[in-house]
Amino acid sequence: MPKQTSVAGVLVTLLSLSAAANAQPQVASFAELQGRVKIGDAVNVTDDAGKTIKGNVEQVSDTMLVLRSDGNDLPLPVLKVQRISRPVRTLRNGAFIGLAAGFTIGAITAGSSSCSYLCLSSPAGILLIGGLVGAAGMGTGAAVGGSIHREHVIFERTATGHREVAVVPLVSRAGAGLRVDIGF
């Protein structure tokens, strides 16, 4: 039993590490973006008009992002780009996590069974039951992963040069007035 428990612990640790490695912070400038996206990467770009463009990266520099979208190269100057995100592959990740979890549960169950009628605790039995339960887990994980649609935001423009005006009425027993806050 301790051997199967250590296998489950290793699998959980590996899955945790891959999730932590995938969670990278957003970049603050296009100069940093060059290290995060590669030629051919699939991205979703939201421009300054709020339109989202899906495409593959053709070129990235400090001043320009060129996307290949619908068979055309689309140059996007740095000032037009508001947000860049990458679709997360939840279907594939769900399938792998389901396979690993199902195989682990099946292998532990088979390894801890008794040999009264059919001996499943043999290496072949562990692989057989682990594989069958793993296949069911893979299908379940793929179904769950396919139902989740997320994006990982790589770059999002902060509101620089944004002006705000706030007007707040002030009322007290002594009188009334307005408070005006102007932010640049």
List all residues 6 or more positions away from 158 whose beta carbon is below 8 Å from its beta carbon: 28
**What pTM was estimated for this model as a whole?**
0.51
Could you give the count of Cα atoms lying within 13 Å of 177 in the half-sphere of its Cβ? 6
- Beta-bridged to residue 65, according to DSSP, are 60, 76
Question: Could you give the angle at which helices 90-111 and 2-22 cross, rounded to 10 degrees?
Answer: 170
Q: Are 112 and 105 in contact (CB under 8 A)?
A: no
Q: Are 55 and 68 in contact (CB under 8 A)?
A: yes
Sign of CA dihedral 95, 99, 101, 106: positive
Q: Which range (81-95, 105-119, 142-156, 157-171) has the least confidence?
A: 157-171
In the block, residue with structure tokens 């002594």 = 174
In the predicted structure, residue 164 carries a pLDDT above the cut 70: no
- In the predicted model, what is the mean pLDDT of residues 147-175? 73
- In the predicted model, what is the mean pLDDT of residues 47-72? 88
- The whole-angstrom separation of Cα 27 and Cα 102 is 37
Check residue 23 and give its pLDDT. Answer: 52
Assigned CATH topology for domain 29-88+150-157: SH3 type barrels. (2.30.30)
In the predicted structure, residue 5 carries a pLDDT above the cut 60: no
- The whole-angstrom separation of Cα 48 and Cα 40 is 23
Check residue 18 and give its pLDDT. Answer: 45
In the block, residue with structure tokens 């400090």 = 62
- Domains of the chain, residue spans: 29-88+150-157
Listed in order, strand segments (DSSP E) in the chain are: 42-47, 52-60, 64-69, 72-77, 81-87, 151-156, 164-172, 175-183
Listed in order, strand segments (DSSP E) in 38-103 are: 42-47, 52-60, 64-69, 72-77, 81-87
In the predicted structure, residue 139 carries a pLDDT above the cut 80: yes
- The whole-angstrom separation of Cα 76 and Cα 66 is 6
